[in-house]
């Protein structure tokens, strides 16, 4: 299997520059070759609207990317493509260019296989892969497919915002050495309507080695 490729949007409902990037992520989320995730950061909450999906943990993930990608500061909106580069995501051109670069740099992928039965656990499997540069982080992200929010204060006061693939929980489920491996995630940690993604990347929010997603047949 070639791909899929990861696109992570760092966004905030308190930022009036973010809605175009949110809409673009919605389009990317519909593509089978893209694992599109929306991480809501909390550092804009102070200006009048507390983003209901924001957390300190998502902000820290963005800061980790900033260190890896040698950014001077974090900003919204920011799309990080496959852990190798970033842009605002307000226009598709730069993101498509980064995706093309990711495909060229890593034609072989360690794509996790994901399976989940109704009411059962999530099973994550990785086949043996020749890792370079040390072990990899295997991260689980659980996300809501879509939310519509009426904003009552702040920069987006009066607007109804549409957000897609909103990460509600993410965690490191394993450190992988490249040998065949599997992990089990208890069914109670994922709601039936939620999507799940697994990201395999060099430690410290480095370049992606592989990723995949599993979504219900309906959008919720």
In terms of C-beta distances under 8 Å and separation of at least 24 residues, what long-range contacts does 180-185 make, across chains too?
180/125, 180/126, 180/127, 180/128, 181/125, 181/126, 182/123, 182/124, 182/125, 182/126, 183/123, 183/124, 183/138, 184/121, 184/122, 184/123, 184/124, 185/121, 185/122, 185/123, 185/124, 185/140
pTM, 2 dp = 0.95
Instruction: State both tokens at 91.
Output: 């226009």
Determine the average pLDDT of the residues in 204-220.
Answer: 83
Task: For residue 57, give both structure tokens.
Answer: 């943990």
Residue with tokens 């992520």, as numbered in its chain: 25
Instruction: Show me where the domains of the chain are located.
Output: 5-214
**And the tokens for 169?**
């929980």
pLDDT, the chain, mean: 94
pLDDT per residue as tens digits for the range 68-86: 999 999 999 999 999 999 9
Phi, psi (rounded to 5 degrees) for 125: -130, 140
Question: Among all chains, which residue has been given the structure tokens 């070639």?
Answer: 2
What is the predicted pLDDT for the residue at 217?
A: 56
Mean pLDDT of 32-51: 97
- Supply the pLDDT for residue 220: 36
Give the per-residue pLDDT at 218: 39
Task: Return the pLDDT at 42.
Answer: 98
| Closest by CA position to 30, among listed 146, 122, 168, 133 | 146
Helix (H) or strand (E) holding 62: helix 56-68
Mean pLDDT score, 112-122: 91
As a whole-number percent, the residues of the chain with pLDDT over 70 amount to 98
Is the confidence at residue 201, as pLDDT, over 80?
yes
The confidence band for 219, taking pLDDT boundaries of 50, 70 and 90, is very low
Q: What is the pLDDT of residue 3?
A: 83
What is the Cα Rg of the chain in Å? 17
């Amino acid at each position: 299997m070639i791909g899929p490729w990861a696109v992570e949007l760092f966004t905030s409902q308190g930022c009036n520059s973010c809605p175009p990037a949110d809409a673009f992520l919605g389009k990317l989320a519909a593509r089978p070759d893209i694992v599109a995730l929306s991480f809501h950061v909390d550092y804009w909450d102070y200006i009048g609207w507390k983003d209901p999906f924001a957390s300190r943990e998502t902000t820290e993930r963005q800061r980790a990317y900033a260190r890896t990608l040698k950014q001077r500061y974090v900003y919204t909106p920011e799309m990080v493509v496959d852990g190798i580069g970033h842009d605002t995501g307000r226009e598709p051109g730069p993101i498509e260019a980064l995706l093309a670069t990711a495909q060229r740099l890593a034609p072989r992928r360690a794509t996790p296989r994901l399976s989940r039965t109704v009411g059962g656990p999530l099973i994550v499997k990785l086949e043996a892969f020749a890792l370079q540069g040390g072990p990899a982080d295997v991260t689980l992200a659980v996300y809501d497919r879509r939310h519509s929010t009426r904003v009552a204060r702040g920069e987006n006061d009066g607007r109804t915002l549409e957000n897609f693939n909103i990460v509600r929980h993410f965690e490191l489920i394993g450190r992988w050495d490249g040998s065949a491996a599997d992990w089990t995630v208890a069914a109670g940690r994922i709601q039936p309507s939620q999507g799940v993604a697994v990201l395999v990347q060099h430690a410290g929010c480095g370049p992606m080695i592989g990723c995949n997603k599993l979504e219900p047949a309906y959008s919720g």
